[in-house]
Amino acid sequence: MPSRGAHTAMSQSFQLSCLDAALSIAQAAGRILAEGAFRRHASESKSTSADLVTRYDRAAEEVICAAIASRFPDHRILAEESGDHGGASDRPRWIIDPLDGTTNFAHGLPLFSVSIACEWEGQVRVGVVHAPALGWTFSAGLGLGAFRNGERLAVSQAPSIEQALLVTGFPYDRKTARDNNFAQFLHLKRRAQGIRRLGSAALDLSLVAAGSLDGYWEMKLKPWDIAAGLLLASEAGAKLSDWQGRPVELSRGEVLCANPHLHAELLAALRHIEHGVFTP
């Protein structure tokens, strides 16, 4: 039986192998998306009229899944369009969004990304977010730091909401659901230096990691929206929780991510707002 030191060495080697694969595969998928960048595309609705898919989503996902299956045939895959498939339950799981920001892409707006993460032994250990139209590739390995195009990243030092540039998003069922993030947005919009809505959760988290944005919150997210971005942000020094201050769970889909100076203040603001109604 391998010693603990040998197991650690094997784990680190495996992690680096997966990170190298994720970078290569994300670039391959990005080349497909780059072919369609900066122009409008036909799309189909999925769960709602705001939840879109294009032929580029499907083509990129096919490339990603085929490459993972070829390199790691016993691994599992959770992909946005094709769901959960492959491998035994105790094997590493790849979590894939082939095109995060489909609405942007379908309208010719270059704010979209490929998101690839690998999770095993209960932790996301590899994350890559590739934005081909912007020329950015974000990458992180657990305990290895976060990088953009090879440059190490660190979160900002903004000390308060009033001095912060924040980012958020809204759920696909926002037209009909009571929990829609509108009240939270309005409350924080009155306080923050600014709030952006980029349309790609993976990019939102990556830009918090880069220090370009100071904090991010969103609800009703899927694992493929956030798995890679959460690791990037954490490795860059961000503090992560759900809106109640608990550890983030991919299955719960509620995220608050901010630099350590700002997190507690944002958490306090969000906890004052319940079910879309602000309670002072």
Tens-digit pLDDT profile for residues 11-68: 889 999 999 999 999 999 999 999 999 988 877 665 665 555 689 999 999 999 999 9
CB atoms within 10 A of CB 187: 17
Domain borders along the chain are 4-152, 161-278
Alpha carbon distance 137, 112 (integer Å)? 12
pLDDT at 6: 44
Domain spanning 4-152: which superfamily?
Fructose-1,6-Bisphosphatase, subunit A, domain 1 (3.30.540.10)
Contacts 24+ apart (CB under 8 A), 67-73: 67/21, 67/24, 67/25, 67/28, 68/21, 68/25, 68/94, 68/96, 71/21, 72/18, 72/21
**Range 200-224 average pLDDT:** 98
**Range 65-81 average pLDDT:** 95
Class of domain 161-278: alpha beta
pLDDT at 1: 39
Is 0.85 surpassed by the pTM of this model?
Answer: yes
Alpha carbon distance 238, 204 (integer Å)? 13
pLDDT at 3: 44
pLDDT at 239: 98
Per-position b or e across 119-150, b if 16+ CB within 10 A of its CB: bbeeebbbbbbbbbbeebbbbbbbebebbbee
| Residue 159, token pair as written in the block | 């000390």
Same fold, 4-152 and 161-278: no
Alpha carbon distance 7, 168 (integer Å)? 40
Residue reference for tokens 């990458």 = 139
| Confidence grade of residue 280 (pLDDT, cut at 50, 70, 90) | very low
What is residue 192's DSSP assignment? S
Q: Write phi, then psi, for 133 (nearest 5 degrees).
A: -75, -20
